[in-house]
Amino acid sequence: MSVRSWKDLWSGVLYVALAAGFLWFGRDFRMGTASRMGPGYFPLVLAWVLLGFGVLSVVRSFLVEGEGIGGMAPKPLAIITAAVVLFGLLLTPLGLVVAMPVLIVVSAMASSQSVYDVKGALIVIGLTLFCILVFVKGLGVPMPIFGSWFDGLVPATWQR
């Protein structure tokens, strides 16, 4: 049996390796239940999903003809990495209401097709509100809506 799609093979291997790492490091986190999630629930469920996609991708690499591996795009990779790092750095001091738009706008800079207009601004606002409603309010993920820099400026009930 020979590899018919090297791109699928290596992306599947990467998915499996990342999932295995997340499963290994998250093994001591408490899972909880779907209605009362513990700190390990979301990361471990996502790791299992990623593992499944990785296995499917590896199997597919032997079954379906695909394209070869192209060149790496270092600039978009650096921009996306910077966006994620900025999100992590800004979340605690400024909260989700600032960190999420920064993540979206900086990530969009990785594409040459990005357009900054009213429609884009509405999408940023909508995604931010969606994340606040689903993750903070709905699932109870302990992320600050407004960070520590906003202490005293917004009511305490708006913080979470």
- For 95-121, write each residue's pLDDT tens digit: 999 999 999 999 999 998 988 899 999
Does residue 69 sit within a domain?
no
Farthest CA pair distance, the chain: 65
Last residue of a domain, one of 63, 89, 110: 63
Does residue 46 sit within a domain?
yes
Q: How large is the average pLDDT for residues 32-60?
A: 87
Does residue 52 sit within a domain?
yes
pTM over 0.75: no
Q: Are residues 22 and 85 in the same domain?
A: no
pLDDT at 54 over 90: yes
Last residue of a domain, one of 63, 84, 99: 63
For residue 96, give every residue at least 6 positions away whose Cβ sits within 8 Å of its Cβ, in sequence order, or none: 128, 131, 132, 136, 143, 144, 145
pLDDT at 24 over 60: yes
Q: Which residues of 119-147 are buried (b: 16+ CB within 10 A; e: fewer)?
A: eeeeebeeebeebbeeebeeeeeebbbbb
Does residue 124 sit within a domain?
yes
* Predicted local confidence at residue 89, as pLDDT: 95
Q: Are residues 78 and 123 in the same domain?
A: yes
Q: Are residues 78 and 42 in the same domain?
A: no
Q: Are residues 50 and 112 in the same domain?
A: no
Number of domains comprising the chain: 2
Last residue of a domain, one of 63, 84, 105: 63
Distance CA 17, CA 94 (A): 33
Residue 142 structural domain = 74-158
Q: Are residues 143 and 118 in the same domain?
A: yes
**Which of 13-17, 30-34, 94-98 has the weakest average pLDDT?**
30-34
